[in-house]
Structure 1
Amino acid sequence: MLLLLVVIFTLSACASSDNEPNGNAGNAQYSAGSDNQEAEADAGAANDAEAQGEDAASGGGELIVVDQNIAASLDPVQPLTSSYLRKIGAAEALFKVNAAGETVPELAEEATQVDPTTWEIRLRPGATFWSGAAVDADAVIASLERSRANDAQAQPFLAELTLEKVDAATLRVTTSRAQLPVPLNLSYYQTVIHNAGQAHDSVETMDLTGMYRVTAFTPKQSMELARNEHYWGAAPAIERIVYEEVADEQTRVLSALSGRSHVVYQIPVTSMPQFESREDVEISAEPAANTQTVYLNLSRPQLADVQVRQALAWGVDREELVIAAAEGQSTPVTTWLGSNPAFAEAKNAVYSAYDPDQAGALLDDAGWMLGEDGIRYKDGEPLQLRLMTWGQDQALGEALQSQWGRIGVQVEVQHGDYSLIQTARESGDWDASIEAWSTFGEELTLLQGQYAPEGSGNYGGYNDEETNALLAQLAEAADQQSRRELTLQINTRVAEQAPVISLYPRPQLTAVSTALQGFEPHFRQFEHIVHAGLTLAAR
Structure 2
Amino acid sequence: MKKLSFVILLGLILAVAGCSGGNSNAGNGSPESSSPAGSAAQGEASLSPEASGAEPQELVIIGQEINASLDPVKPLTSSYLRNIGVGEALFKVNAGGEVEPSLAESATEVDPTTWEIKLRPEVRFWSGKAVDADAVIASLERSKSLDLQAQPFLNDLTIAKLDDYTLQVKTEREHLPVPLNLSYYQTIIHNAEASHEDIGTMDLTGMYKVTEFSPKQKTVLTINEDYWGQKPTIPTVVFEEISDEQTRVLSALSGRSHVTLNVPVSSLAQFKDNKEVYLSAAPAASTQTIYLNLGQDQLQDVRVRQALSWGADRDELVVLAAEGQSTPVTTWMASNPAYAETKNAVYTQFDPDKAGQLLDEAGWLKESDGIRYKDGKPLTVRLMTWGGDKALGEALQSQWTRLGVKAEVQHGDYSLIETARESGDWDASIEAWSTFGEEFAVLSGQYSPEGRANYGGYNDEETNRLLEELKKAGDQQSRHNLALQINERVAQQAPVISLFPRPQVTAVSSSLQGFEEHFRQFENVVNAKLTLTAQ
Q: 1:219 to 1:428 in 2, by over 3 A?
A: closer
- The equivalent of 2:16 in structure 1 is none
Q: CA deviation at 1:490?
A: 0.5
**CA distance in 2: counterparts of 1:363 and 1:452, whole angstroms:** 27
- The equivalent of 1:83 in structure 2 is 79
CA contact (8 A) 2:26 2:432 kept: no
Q: Are positions 1:395 and 2:395 aligned together? A: no
CA contact (8 A) 2:173 2:474 kept: no
Q: Are positions 1:420 and 2:426 aligned together? A: no
Q: Are positions 1:376 and 2:372 aligned together? A: yes
- The equivalent of 2:150 in structure 1 is 154
Which of the residues 262, 270, 286 maps onto 1:274? 270
- The equivalent of 1:348 in structure 2 is 344
- The equivalent of 1:117 in structure 2 is 113
- The equivalent of 2:359 in structure 1 is 363
Q: Are positions 1:487 and 2:483 aligned together? A: yes
**CA distance in 2: counterparts of 1:427 and 1:495, whole angstroms:** 26
CA contact (8 A) 1:22 1:445 kept: no
CA contact (8 A) 2:159 2:170 kept: yes
Q: CA deviation at 1:242?
A: 1.8
Q: Are positions 1:258 and 2:274 aligned together? A: no
Kindly report which structure 2 residues correspond to 1:135-534, keeping only aligned pairs within 5 A, or say none. 135-534=131-530
Q: CA deviation at 1:530?
A: 1.0
Please provide the CA RMSD for this pair. 2.5
CA contact (8 A) 1:22 1:440 kept: no
Q: 1:151 to 1:525 in 2, by over 3 A?
A: same
Cα shift readout 1:198-243 (whole Å, capped 9, x = no counterpart): 4434444433222222233333332222223332222323232122
**CA distance in 2: counterparts of 1:270 and 1:333, whole angstroms:** 21
Q: CA deviation at 1:290?
A: 1.8
**CA distance in 2: counterparts of 1:164 and 1:525, whole angstroms:** 33
Deviates more, 1:104-113 or 1:455-464: 455-464
CA contact (8 A) 1:96 1:527 kept: no
Residue 177 of structure 1 aligns to a residue in which SS? coil
Residue 150 of structure 2 aligns to a residue in which SS? helix
Cα shift readout 1:232-287 (whole Å, capped 9, x = no counterpart): 22232323212222233322222111101101112222222211231111222223
Cα shift readout 1:398-432 (whole Å, capped 9, x = no counterpart): 10111122222221222233333333333333322
Q: 1:301 to 1:393 in 2, by over 3 A?
A: same
Between structure 1 and structure 2, the one with the greater Rg is: 1
Name structure 1 gaps, 5 residues minimum: 1-16, 24-53
**CA distance in 1: counterparts of 2:422 and 2:136, whole angstroms:** 38
Q: CA deviation at 1:22?
A: 11
Name structure 2 gaps, 5 residues minimum: 1-21, 29-49
Q: 1:449 to 1:183 in 2, by over 3 A?
A: same
**CA distance in 2: counterparts of 1:266 and 1:22, whole angstroms:** 11
Residue 423 of structure 1 aligns to a residue in which SS? helix
**CA distance in 2: counterparts of 1:268 and 1:407, whole angstroms:** 29
Q: 1:422 to 1:528 in 2, by over 3 A?
A: closer
**CA distance in 1: counterparts of 2:460 and 2:153, whole angstroms:** 26
**CA distance in 1: counterparts of 2:190 and 2:417, whole angstroms:** 34
Letter in 2 for 1:130: W
Q: 1:78 to 1:411 in 2, by over 3 A?
A: closer
- The equivalent of 1:535 in structure 2 is 531
Kindly report which structure 2 residues correspond to 1:47-86, keeping only aligned pairs within 5 A, or say none. 61-86=57-82
Q: What TM-score, normalized by structure 1, do the two folds share?
A: 0.84
Residue 117 of structure 2 aligns to a residue in which SS? strand
Residue 473 of structure 1 aligns to a residue in which SS? helix
Residue 153 of structure 1 aligns to a residue in which SS? coil
**CA distance in 1: counterparts of 2:377 and 2:467, whole angstroms:** 37
Letter in 2 for 1:200: H
Q: 1:519 to 1:497 in 2, by over 3 A?
A: same
Q: 1:460 to 1:382 in 2, by over 3 A?
A: same
Residue 125 of structure 2 aligns to a residue in which SS? coil
**CA distance in 1: counterparts of 2:112 and 2:27, whole angstroms:** 20
Residue 149 of structure 2 aligns to a residue in which SS? helix
**CA distance in 1: counterparts of 2:235 and 2:508, whole angstroms:** 18
- The equivalent of 1:13 in structure 2 is none
CA contact (8 A) 1:157 1:186 kept: yes
Q: CA deviation at 1:487?
A: 0.4
Identity %: 69
**CA distance in 2: counterparts of 1:307 and 1:419, whole angstroms:** 31
**CA distance in 2: counterparts of 1:102 and 1:374, whole angstroms:** 52
CA contact (8 A) 1:22 1:446 kept: no
**CA distance in 2: counterparts of 1:22 and 1:247, whole angstroms:** 16
CA contact (8 A) 2:291 2:496 kept: yes
Residue 437 of structure 1 aligns to a residue in which SS? strand
Q: 1:334 to 1:219 in 2, by over 3 A?
A: same
Q: CA deviation at 1:94?
A: 0.3
Q: CA deviation at 1:460?
A: 2.3
Letter in 2 for 1:169: Y
CA contact (8 A) 1:21 1:445 kept: no
CA contact (8 A) 2:264 2:388 kept: yes
Q: 1:247 to 1:374 in 2, by over 3 A?
A: closer
Q: What TM-score, normalized by structure 2, do the two folds share?
A: 0.85
- The equivalent of 2:14 in structure 1 is none
CA contact (8 A) 2:292 2:429 kept: yes
**CA distance in 1: counterparts of 2:71 and 2:467, whole angstroms:** 35
**CA distance in 2: counterparts of 1:328 and 1:201, whole angstroms:** 43
**CA distance in 1: counterparts of 2:292 and 2:73, whole angstroms:** 32
Which of the residues 18, 23, 31 maps onto 2:23? 18
